[in-house]
Homo-oligomer: A and B are copies of this chain.
Amino acid sequence: MIRAVGLISGTSMDGIDAAAVEITEDSPLRVKSRACLSRPYPKEIRETLATLCRPGAGLALDACRVSMVLGELFAEAALTVIEQAGWSPDQVHLIGSHGQTTVSDFGESSTLAGYRAFSTLQLGHPAVIAERTGITVVSDFRARDIAAGGRGAPLAPMLDSLLYGAPGKARVLLNLGGIANLTYLPASGDPAEVIGFDTGPANMPLDLLVRRWSGGRDAYDHNGVLAGGGRVIESLLACLRQHPFVAQPPPKATGSEEFGEAFIEQVLAWAPDASHADVLATLAQFAAETIGDAMTKWFPGTEPLLDVVASGGGTHNPALMARISAALAPTPLRTLDRIGGDVDAKEAVLFAVLGYLTLRGQAGNLPSVTGAVRSVPLGSITPGALGMVWPGLG
């Protein structure tokens, strides 16, 4: 039995999610969550990260400095979740750390000196995590898939395919983070037929607006109270539906470049006199529609879906969930805890499992999902301590 820790900070950049899991190496793999936690970033870190993401304002020197400090915070989160699981660090086989995505450049046409310059930057230096914990760290999962011609995202479909398939039935896993992404698991169970992509925004524009309007006091719309009290502004929704990402066929991935600060500026310019509640309700409706439309537009064949299984912070927003449920009807919308998962820790669990796959020499990407030309081992391995000998030397 393998003890693994997964670490991630999402596109909302508000803190670290950590999970401690036991992996039993059966076929299929079994993963049991022992502990999980969320730990907010200090204010100074949140502000530094926000600056890093502002177009034209994020300095490489600051990225570099904050990466070392995020390494410290990720290490502390790892040590805390290990303690909560009742383990000691020397019992833990690995940490899979996604890090903090700050910069990503998903423009297909991006080239430099004649080469594809498609890139993404994950902060939270693995050397610091390995040094503080003494545990081997697997990190920077996206770059290898990008090097193999993929988009480096989404990665969740591998976990979904390993853990959450419904034999003989087609199922969709839906994660509602800053961005919404989904995984279509075919009834055949064949990984080559798995589809997965980002559908568009989920919490990101809602969170950014609530933070702005509250002067930073609220990080999100608690229980969806604001969005739940609003009405959809049809003229704004019509503008949102024209967003080029919606019409783009999968595989596709997005982030704060498309649905971050610049996007909410545009939203406010389109509806300058609207109430806060109405703007949030409209954005929730836009998220729900893009999720619903993605299923009718991009899924193969006529196989009926057993259900759509949601995870992520968005599951705690009843206003968003109600709109998604309506957009999906008659397919039922469930939450991940109903099929044995953890709605809040899913992404952290993902990176624990992806780290495990890399250390076992196995592929972590699904080429049908990311667009890569082949299956590759994801990430880099930072040894926890001296004395670990790489097997390739003979």
> Which residue numbers of A lie inside 8 Å of B, CB to CB?
2, 42, 44-45, 48, 52, 56, 58-69, 71-72, 93-94, 102-105, 110, 112-121, 125-128, 130-132, 136, 139-140, 143-144, 146-148, 356, 358-363, 375-377, 379-394
Partner of A42, one of B69, B105, B113: B113
Query: In the bound complex, do residue A119 and residue B68 qualify as a contact, i.e. CB atoms below 8 Å apart?
Result: yes
Distance to closest chain B CB from A277 (angstroms): 35
**Smallest beta-carbon distance A66→chain B, Å:** 6
Could you tell me the distance between the alpha carbons of A105 and B63 in the complex, rounded to whole angstroms? 11
Does A392 contact B65, Cβ atoms closer than 8 Å?
Answer: no
> In the complex, are the beta carbons of A131 and B147 less than 8 A apart?
yes
Provided the pairs A60-B63, A68-B118, A113-B42 are in contact, do residues A127 and B390 lie with their beta carbons within 8 angstroms?
Answer: no
Residue pair A58, B56 in contact (C-beta under 8 Å): no
B105 lies within 8 A of A65 (CB): yes
B residues near A56, Cβ cutoff 8 Å: 59
Task: Decide if A125 touches B147 in the complex (CB within 8 Å).
Answer: yes
A60-B59, A69-B117, A394-B93 as given contacts; A381 in contact with B380, CB under 8 Å: yes
Query: Is A380 touching B113 in the complex (CB atoms < 8 A)?
Result: no
Sampled A-B contacts (22; CB under 8 Å): A45-B113, A60-B62, A60-B103, A61-B121, A63-B63, A65-B112, A65-B117, A67-B119, A68-B116, A68-B117, A68-B147, A72-B115, A127-B380, A131-B147, A131-B376, A140-B380, A144-B382, A358-B383, A361-B383, A363-B386, A375-B386, A380-B381
Nearest to A378 among chain B residues (CB) is: B127
In the bound complex, do residue A148 and residue B136 qualify as a contact, i.e. CB atoms below 8 Å apart? no
- Given contact pairs A361-B383, A386-B376, A64 touches B120 in the complex (Cβ within 8 A): yes
> In the complex, what residue of chain B is closest to A66 when comparing beta carbons?
B112
Q: A48-B112, A58-B59 are in contact. Are A383 and B377 (CB under 8 A)?
A: yes
B384 touches A392 (CB 8 A): yes
Q: Which residues of B contact A376 (CB under 8 A)?
A: 131, 386
Closest to A112 in B: B69
